Chains A and B, each alone.
Chain A
Amino acid sequence: MTNFNFSEPMFRHAQAEGSRLALSVDGQNVSYSELAALSQRMAAWLNQDPVRPRGFVAILASRSIEAYVGVLGTGWNGDAYVPLNPKLPEDRLATLLDIIQPVALITDEGGRKALTGRALQAAPAMVLNSLDDLPVFNPQDRPRQMEAEDRAYMIFTSGSTGVPKGVVVPLRAIHALVAGMQEVYGFGPHDRFSKAYNLSFDGSIHDMFTCWNAGASLHPVPARQLMAPAKFIQDKQLTMWTSVPSTAVFLERMKMLQPGAFPSLRYTIFSGEPLPLRSAQAWQKAAPNSVVDNICGHTECCCFSTLERLSDPPNVTPKLGLVAVGKPLPGFEAAVFDKDCRPLPPGQEGELALSGPQVAQGYFHDPERTATRFPSINGKTWYRTGDLVVVDEVGSLHHLGRIDNQVKILGHRVELGEVESHLSAICGTDAVAAVAWPVEHGSARGIAAFHTTEGLPAQEIRDKMTLRVPRYMVPQQVRRLERIPLTEQGKIDRATLKAMLDLASDTQASEAELPRVAVR
């Protein structure tokens, strides 16, 4: 009987060849047998009350041994993990902990510092502050037998109503993802994986579980090297690199993508935002031994769903200068839906819908939204992505934008409605608006906010937003208008707002007033 426990492959490698490197964090090397022992001890700590029902374990840790042992120990014991970024503001952490009601909380040094005030009050009774507090190793213990539909993890994404939504993903989804990635790439024990994504970013699912399934080693990129990881790739002799395309765009502009700079790389995956062709080709020259893949993913479909390999000539989305998003990964079925969820023929624009074992169970405590976004059609569950796509003549998908107000800010998924709901609370009025701006290389750099409240300084709005939302959701530009422009349908006219910002920026008026707009 298959054990769907996501710690099982790591455990098997620990038994077969335990001395091999599994994880290298900030100069600390952890072998497979060491990682398995720590995970077992973490599971034993979580299992102090053996009759407790399986639940969620929150992991308030980042890029540390505690973070990865937390994930593996949680899975080992049959619980589901919920990653929380220690950089979140206290109020946001408290809100999330109230929603999750975790049975336990695992922290590292950064997590302990973040756990103050309201967040500390919302924390469960069981908090792990140090790996030294774990029970002794029991070599007889092994990962609990788990079933396909048991929960693996929950990751929060921005919610349009102002409250983040938790995506609940079962173990079968990780199982299918890892099998699919193994089929496409054929990873082996000698591979050395990067881990650039934070735990709370679902790209990390691939990094961790595909790596440990192959018996390979995982190399989390220290926060201080994330922006320009060239030296890290060289020093660690990585074979597999996964990150947002911004990394390539930045390195290229820094002239750090010298031809042949990364000879060790065999595989590169860019994911999380549009991939500009120019940066992809520069990366290919820097990593001549690597395939360069553009992968489109959704938190609701366990990380990765479609793949386009950079080829010569490349398949480019017309007018946008972006690499196509390709074809479904193994196990997926993709369709392009009209607004009534009827499939459209190739060549027609519509909403990307995905079906298969990687599709999540739905949104936590939100059956209505789950029913809307995960409709069942002819006996299959589909996830409606909200991505506007078209299929070309070779069957590849092209991403044309969104059908809703979800945007990507430097790779982070943001619902503008969520930003507006916080702005509205701060400004004491519904007359607020947010747009993603400026957009460069198909990817937004930040958020600009508009309001109508007199006498409210921009800095005060920003300071209050900082206490409520993650940093990438705090507006960089804040402008006061006499009124918020609306479309004929009465919706916020975001196109006009963006045009105002573009105009102001084109006229080099970064400090000057916008046309007909009172600043401050």
Chain B
Amino acid sequence: MIDPDAVRELVGSLLRQKDDTGPFADSDSLVSSGRLDSIDILQIVVFLESNYGIDFADQQFDQEDFDSIARILTLIELRAPARK
């Protein structure tokens, strides 16, 4: 099961760590706008590995895949191994 709220919560906490309390919608660009950086992406990766079993070593990916909450949800949908 994909839990969009958990992803929103994670992104919110990454932003708050930088004192960024501005609003963010699912479709807002977060990486290319500079609100999240490469180290934030690493935290998202750890989250996706542990919660959805995505193995990034096997994947070809672009930073664009993490650019918004909507993109992250798509990434989970496409790349998380099927679970019973």
Contacts and interface: CB of A to CB of B under 8 A. Distances in A.
Interface of A: 223-228, 230-231, 246, 250, 253-256, 258, 410, 440, 445-446, 458-459, 462, 471, 474, 476-478, 510-511
Interface in B28-62: 31-32, 34, 37-39, 41-42, 45, 56-57, 60-62
B19 A250 contact: no
B18 interface: yes
Contact of A462 (B19, B39, B62): B19
15 contacts: A224-B62, A225-B62, A226-B63, A227-B31, A227-B41, A250-B41, A250-B42, A254-B56, A256-B56, A410-B37, A446-B18, A459-B21, A462-B20, A476-B19, A510-B17
A445 B63 contact: no
A476 B22 CA distance: 13
Contact of A231 (B37, B38, B56, B60): B60
Contacts, number: 58
Interface residues of B, number: 24
B38 A227 contact: yes
Nearest to A472: B34
Contact of A477 (B19, B56, B57): B19
Contacts of A254: 42, 45, 56-57
Contact of B16 (A227, A230, A510): A510
B11 to A, nearest CB: 14
A477 B17 CA distance: 8
Interface of B: 13, 16-22, 31-32, 34, 37-39, 41-42, 45, 56-57, 60-64
Contacts of B42: 250, 253-254
Nearest to B34: A471
Given A227-B41, A471-B34, A477-B19, A255 B57 contact: yes
Contacts of A462: 19-20
Contacts of A230: 60
A228 B37 CA distance: 12
Contacts of A474: 34
B18 A228 contact: no
Indicate the member of A228, A231, A246, A256 with the most B CB atoms within 10 Å. Answer: A228
Given A227-B38, A246-B38, A253-B42, A458 B19 contact: yes
Nearest to A253: B42
B64 A224 contact: yes
Given A410-B37, A445-B37, A476-B18, A228 B62 contact: yes
Given A225-B62, A253-B42, A256-B57, 19 more contacts: A224-B62, A226-B63, A227-B31, A227-B63, A228-B62, A230-B60, A231-B60, A254-B56, A258-B57, A410-B38, A445-B39, A458-B19, A459-B20, A459-B21, A462-B19, A462-B20, A474-B34, A510-B13, A510-B17
Nearest to B66: A227
Q: Which 10 A-B pairs have the closest CB atoms?
A: A255-B57, A227-B63, A476-B18, A471-B34, A510-B17, A231-B60, A224-B64, A250-B38, A458-B19, A227-B38
A339 B27 CA distance: 54
A255 B58 CA distance: 9
Given A246-B38, A250-B38, A477 B63 contact: no
